[in-house]
Structure 1
Amino acid sequence: MYSNLASQTKSNKAKWRLGAILPLGAALSGAAFAVEPVTGVTDDQEVVMDDVKVKAAREKQANRFKADSSSTGSKTEMALRDIPQSVSVVKEELIESQNAFNLRDALRNVSGLTIAAGEGGRTGDSITLRGFAANSDQYLDGVKDNGQYNRDTFFIEKAEVLKGASSILFGRGATGGVINQVAKKPTGKTGVNGSFTYGMYDFKRTAIDAETAYQDLAARLNVMYQDTDSYRDYNSSSRWGIAPSFALKLTPDTDLSLNLLHQQEEGVFDYGVPMWRGTPADVPINTFYGFTDNRMMDSDVNVATVALTHRFNQDFSVKNSIRYGDYERKYLTHLFSGAAAYTGANAGTIARSQALRLSTQENVYNQTDFVFKKPLFGFNNTLMFGSEFGWEEYDFKSKNSTGVTRVSVFDPIITGSVGRGLASDFSGTLATDRLTHAQTYAGYVLDQFEINPEWKLLGGTRYDVFDAQQEDRLGVANFESSVDQWSPRGGIVWQPSKSQSYYFSYGKSFNPSAESLSLAANNAELPPEQNHNYEIGAKLDFFDGRLSATGALFRLEKTNARTTSPLDPNLQELSGEQRTDGFELGLAGEILPKWDVSLTYAYLDAKITKSTTSATGSVSGLLKSYEGMTAVNVPEHSGVAWTTYRLTDNWEIGGGVFYASDRYADSVNEAVLPGYARLDAMLAYHQKHFDVQMNVFNLADTVYYESGQTNSALPGTPLSGQLTVSFKY
């Protein structure tokens, strides 16, 4: 199925490998029943006991979709009601209810977040948050995890999204917010859970989650394997991963943890169908425009994290985390290199391009966080301060294939690439060959001060030094860039009762030229872009905390965006502006004891308010300015409604709607992705030691496009289903 190019994907540098599954034992738990001793009975008397009836009912899980706290809004676990900023938490129960096996599917439950097709050949998870790209703003347990790969949910217990400018906590980027995965860790229990899923398009997946403990050492192992074809012709993927984790109590006040992740995937680079006169071409969604061979997209990810936590006393603690990340991708792109031709000799066709690309990235980060909880002037006070040091290396090569012909938009003839100048290795002339180094040095201080039980203040700042150096092996562009930046944050929280919390906050972030570990000749010497987030919101609890409602009104501004100089099109300057005004609503928890809901909605007005950059419209053929245009891949209205109801202790039914209005796929607003509403459903049967669950996706078989670019659109999944059988002991 895959070309022998895949055998060339591994670099020569040494990488840690996990050779075998760790010997975590699975123990079966029995039921023990204790009876009070009978008094006043001699040894030779007969005792008649009352009948004891045992009912193995399914344990009820309270607040399956509602979270009460988050570690992403500050440097310690904090109640959501105390964080003066919008935070969305997608819990494991919601992920399992929807069979959301990819992180991007889980994140569909987050208001103001949209999934984008990778721009500029970017693959892996590509996300837009409140109108701004969040590609470099992905974290794992609070430490940067910005490699490009498709993140799986097999080893995470929840995904947290902090919205708005947040450089005080995370450094560069963090414009629209950050996405933080929280990995599953040892709990000290002994048990094993497993599942097998089979679905349409020959979807097969199995996962195991096992843990055990012995004295002061606890261990947990998550393993996953997935293999599937696709509703897209000539598409398939195969993925496997292993994530062992260990927790060791060195002393009563000192804990050491080790978390590892290895994930590999083989797939196909596919951006979908062409755009035709500004909308996706009216062709079957399975139509493929690439080549029948050489459809390679391989990734290899290794992440290791060591964390040491020490409590000096009940008020003062420190946590030091060290992260090593290694990310490798090798793939053959297939892109439409221009708009479709509407007239002339090439009418009804579109140009294609192909390139062989290899990127390797290594990260090393060290974070030290102190938390000091001590009353100040008689008032409750939590002081957080610490430092971060990071080193990143990004190596990128690209070689273009030659002789790639045009293809018919409505009747493509798909052939192999033999004789078409396939780029099969990196010998000869390369289009790109760059090595980028980046270093981060930062310190921060953040304080939460409680004036009284009703009023709380949060404020602090962070100072970053971000240096980057680029070595262009083609001799085109060797650059160095150095940025130092203060990033303040402030907020006030009013809590007139335990069920009400109202807040106002301000935060700042910055985007240096080398934010995504690549530099360009026309912007390498520019200062960073600046971003400001203003937000007012409310967080309310109902039914003794079983149901929570949230709302936020915000403005997010980029005040000096990079834009093309009107005097020299080869230079850029900081004279652009972009703004997103919006509000979002959320509801999560139990409406009734057996009725769980997760509802989100976002309204976003994302505009390029000032720009000197122009581009030729794919429909009009006219040169148009970005100024006044709506930001790419930002629907004005979007939301998700998901609900489940337990008919009995054993039977559960649920479903929901995923909705997005029209959105633009290009910067001059001529390419449009139509709005859609996708209806899903689930039915589950639960027992004490096993579950059976059926998920049906896109019940109405709606044709929709989940992401796109100027010249292409990626169709969403058609009507399909999956059956999952899981066990737990």
Structure 2
Amino acid sequence: MKFLKESPAIRSMARLPAHATVACALAGTPLLSLADTPAGDTVLAPVKVTGQRTDNPDYGSSLTSVGKMPMAQRDIPQSTTVITRQLMDDQQDTTLREALRNVSGLTINAGEGGASGDSFTLRGYSVATDLFLDGVRDAGQYSRDTFNYERVDILRGATSMLYGRGSTGGVINQVSKSAHLGDRSDLELSVGTDDYYRSTVDLNRQTGDNSAVRLNLMGQKSDSWRDGPEFNRFGVAPTFRWGIGTPTEVELSYFYLKENNVPDYGVPYNPVTKEPIDKPGTFYGLPDYDYEDTTTQIATATVKHRFSPTASIKNTLRYGQYERDLMPSAPRLNAAGAPTDNTPMKLEHKTRLGELDIWSNQTDFNFKLFTGPLTHNILTGAEIGRETSDVTSWRHKSGANLTGGTVGNPDHNLRPSDPTPVITGQTEFTVDTLAVYLQDMIEFTPEWKLLLGARWDRFDGDYTRMTVSGTTPVTEHYTRKDSVLSYRIGPLWQPSESQSYYAAFGTSFNPSGEAYSLDPKGSNTPPEKNRNIEIGAKWDLLDGDLLLRTAVFRTEKTNERNTDTDASPDEYLLSGARRTDGVEFEIAGRLTANWQVFAGAAIMDPKITRAVGNDAFKVGQRPENAPKHTYNLWTTYKFAEGWKIGGGLNAVGRRWAQPTLSGANSLPGYIRWDGMIGYETRSWEAQLNVYNLTDTTWYEGLYRGHAVPGTARSARLTVNFKL
């Protein structure tokens, strides 16, 4: 099997002469250790060997957990990507956003309406609600930190069969660090430009023969190259494990992340050029008034039991609480025509106070069946959960907008004349979810396999909205219940352990209320349906050190909601359609013992293919935040004793916001170059990372009313002590 081939011990054995290899293999068997013992010799008692887990020092990982259980990437008939801890460390990726720049076909941010936190687009479709933490939905609006990551797994294309609602463009699964046998201590300190300070602690202690505890801590304080925004965060993540290496294992974990930021809503668009105004270094918010405070708490209990080498069960119980208090200033031009330095400005205050609570329980049963010449690797399970969202919208009594300052001279001291808060609306959305699923990986021969899977989901939403018209509150109540069947099928041909070729077909759905809201029409509208068709290949080269993959795909939404208010008085017509055709390439791993590389490319043709009524003009246009191409490259080389140098690029093509009759706002494409140099000893290592080496102007966040500039040239110096 592939994971055996990856073992250093197996590789060492493979380099021995044939007779020595056989002897080593037989030495562990009772036949040789007892039957071949000469008479009169002393037979020693068995020795129990335990070892400390070692981190993967490579950019390539043959294993992934996006299939709800650890699997070789080559055995998944769908595009997969694994961002390893080593890659994140070499790039000094401290946020999920930074780590995901290594994913071809993925772009950052698209949305409006007070949204904050992480929002991504994959293959031209939003995956803002398709983020998972250790296989459980992580739906809160917050900026995720990597301090407790072991790796990040990505599965592309429609995959509701595994993860339920959403997942049109794919899913992103964050894999947490876990306690392990053996002791380990790491202290990392970072300092950088723009008053950047960060420290992390990673402590692991073995507490018994089969138990361990691990604690990860993080603190960060930083400003921005744009004078005004601030980013402050603190995190703690303890994990306890009992029964490591035994048939029954229990793991308890807690995750806490606190943010106190001055949010950055970027710059407005030029109404003539439809691009951001040429003021990327200017901050238009209110540094001493705007704020974004989030608190994320996640508690998880996992129990695993292994009945036999071919049968196991896992149950995961989780409670997550996400709190968010947001008052940013979104900059807008307060005059028509091409802006000048004297054009007046307006700030829109998008105030939100919200809490999201999620209870979830997942049970997965994995076992093998043998029916004649066929081997069935079966995964079956059930999920049940409740998600409750409470959001309060408010404004200042004197109004939601502030007017003052100009494009060339923003006024950071603007304040409402009457700051008394006035509630403008409250919403409460409760959704009960239930799902059962069955997947079978059928092995006909060692070369031919077939993956079949189906899942039934029930999504039962209850929505209450209170709005204020004048001084009179108006309360509305809507419900929507949907039951949907999703499925996937994928044949694989693996002529050798280094080759895997596949075809895949899968479906997904987006129910009304997926984003925790409903309206009169939405309550009468069935789910959108999506499908993914894909042909691909995966190769494990250089004895598994180098992983290559490629895929040709079509990801398609077959019945998109038409939000044209004139189309139907009672419901949103599912009369729209769009698709993304594309090809992807990826390479990850070692070219030599000292040379590592991680690179990817996605060439896509995203297009709206059907729209009716007042939206008919959108046909043929590109969906928002869907570029035609993305490229990423990162490579490092070890030279001399302990030295390492590396660098790479991230390139994204032009992106458009929501299509409008007057033309869509857009962001120009860009290429950003980064570099690093490091030195490592047995007890410490130092590393210097420089970002945006050429100091190019580029934009990270795409919103319909504004764009957020990416960082200018900056640097971080990091020292890690291995205590």
So what's the TM-score if we normalise by structure 1? Answer: 0.87
Deviation of 1:335 (Å): 2.1
Matches of residues 505-544 of structure 1 in structure 2 within 5 Å? 505-544=504-543
Q: Which residue of 2 aligns with 1:689?
A: 683
Given residue 296 of structure 1, which amino acid in structure 2 is its aligned partner?
Y
CA distance in structure 1 between the aligned counterparts of 2:617 and 2:331, rounded to whole angstroms: 23
Aligned counterpart, 1:652: 644
The residue aligned with 2:299 is 304
Cα distance in 1, alignment partners of residues 93 and 599 from structure 2: 16
Corresponding residue for 1:131?
124
The C-alpha deviation readout for 1:75-122, integer Å capped at 9, x for no partner, is: 211110010000110000000111110011101101111111542211
Counterparts of residues 86-125 of structure 1 (less than 5 Å): 86-125=79-118
Partner residue, 2:720: 726
2:56, 2:84 within 8 Å by CA — same for their partners in 1? no
Measured after TM superposition, the shift of residue 375 of structure 1 is: 2.2
Contact 1:63 1:590 survives alignment (8 Å): no
Q: Measure, in 1, the Cα distance between the counterparts of 2:461 and 2:408.
A: 47
Q: CA RMSD in A?
A: 2.2
Shift of 1:281: 4.0
Closer/same/farther in 2, CA of residues 471 and 685 from structure 1, 3 Å limit? same
CA displacement at 1:712 relative to structure 2: 1.1
What is aligned with 1:54? none
Aligned to 2:370: 375
Residue 700 (str. 1) matches residue 699 (str. 2): no
Instruction: For residues 168-208 of structure 1, give each alpha carbon's deviation from its aligned partner in whole angstroms, at most 9, with x where no partner exists.
Output: 11111111000000000011111101100000001000000
Structure 2 partner of 1:438 = 431
* Correspondence 1:410-489 to 2 at 5 A: 410-422=407-419, 425=421, 428=422, 430-474=423-467, 475-489=474-488
Matched residues in 2 for 1:605 and 1:334: separation?
35
Counterparts in 2 of 1:658 and 1:250: CA distance versus 1, 3 Å: closer
Q: Distance in 2 between matches of 1:704 and 1:250?
A: 47
Q: Which moved more, 1:283-292 or 1:681-690?
A: 283-292
Alignment of 1:312-331 (within 5 A): 312-331=307-326
On the 8 A contact 1:274/1:340 being kept in 2, the answer is no
Match for 1:262 among 256, 259, 274? 256
How much has 1:523 moved relative to structure 2? 1.7
Q: Check the 8 A contact 1:339/1:711 in 2, yes or no.
A: no
Contact 2:688–2:716 (CA under 8 A) maintained in structure 1? yes
Task: Supply the AA of the counterpart residue of 1:217.
Answer: S
Query: SS of the counterpart of 2:97?
Result: helix
Quote how far apart the aligned CAs of 1:269 are: 2.4
SS of 1:567's equivalent in the other structure is coil
Do structure 1's residue 672 and structure 2's residue 666 form an aligned pair? yes
Separation of aligned partners in 2, 1:189 and 1:345: 63
Q: Distance in 2 between matches of 1:509 and 1:637?
A: 24
Evaluate the alpha carbon distance shift between residue 581 and residue 344 of structure 1 in structure 2; reply closer, same or farther with a 3 A threshold.
Answer: closer
Change (3 A) 1:481 1:646: same
Aligned pair partner of 2:393 in 370, 391, 398: 398
CA contact (8 A) 2:528 2:560 kept: yes
Letter in 2 for 1:707: G
* 1:108 alignment partner, SS class: helix
How many pairs align? 658
Looking at structure 2, the residues matched to 581 and 201 of structure 1 have their Cα atoms a distance apart, in angstroms, of 41
**CA 476–573 in structure 1, closer or farther in 2 if over 3 Å, else same:** farther
Cα pair 2:124 2:623 within 8 Å, conserved: yes
Q: Following TM superposition, by how much is the alpha carbon of 1:294 offset from its aligned partner in structure 2, in angstroms? A: 1.4
**Aligned-pair CA distance for 1:350:** 4.7
Q: Secondary structure at the match of 1:524?
A: helix
SS at match of 2:515: coil
Residue 627 (structure 1) aligned to one of 601, 610, 619: 619
CA gap 1:145/1:383 in 2 versus in 1, 3 angstroms:
same
Deviations 1:333-381 (A, max 9, x none): 3224678621799993454311321010000000000001232223222
TM-score by length of 2: 0.88
2:56 and 2:233 map into 1 onto residues whose CA distance is: 33
**Gap change, CA 1:449 and 1:254, over 3 Å in 2:** same
Matched, 1:572 2:569: no
Which range moved further: 139-148 or 709-718? Answer: 709-718
Moved more, 707-716 or 105-114: 707-716
| Residue 244 to residue 118, structure 1, CA distance change in 2 (3 Å) | farther
Is the 2:198–2:219 Cα contact (8 Å) retained in structure 1? yes
Cα offset, 1:126, TM superposition: 0.5
Contact 2:269 2:277 in 1 (8 A): no
The corresponding residue for 2:493 is 494
Shift of 1:271: 1.6
Mark the CA change 1:409 to 1:667 in structure 2 (over 3 Å): closer, same or farther.
farther
Match of 1:3 in 2: none
What is the rounded CA distance, in whole Å, between the counterparts of 1:62 and 1:309 in structure 2?
A: 23
Cα distance in 2 between the residues matched to 1:174 and 1:282 = 34
Q: 2 CA distance for matches of 1:505 and 1:344?
A: 50
Residue in 2 aligned with 1:641?
633
Distance in 1 separating the partners of 2:461 and 2:55: 48
- Counterpart-to-counterpart distance in 2, 1:226 and 1:256: 32
The alignment partner of 1:513 has SS state of: coil
1:286 pairs with 2:281: yes
Q: What is the Cα deviation at residue 502 of structure 1?
A: 0.4
Change (3 A) 1:147 1:613: farther
Stretch moving more, 337-346 or 489-498: 337-346
Match of 1:4 in 2: none
Pair 708,75 (structure 1): closer, same or farther in 2 beyond 3 Å: closer
Q: Which sections of structure 2, spanning at least 5 residues, go unmatched?
A: 1-52, 468-473
Match of 1:556 in 2: 555
Deviates more, 1:690-699 or 1:668-677: 668-677
Distance 1:300 1:344, change over 3 A: closer
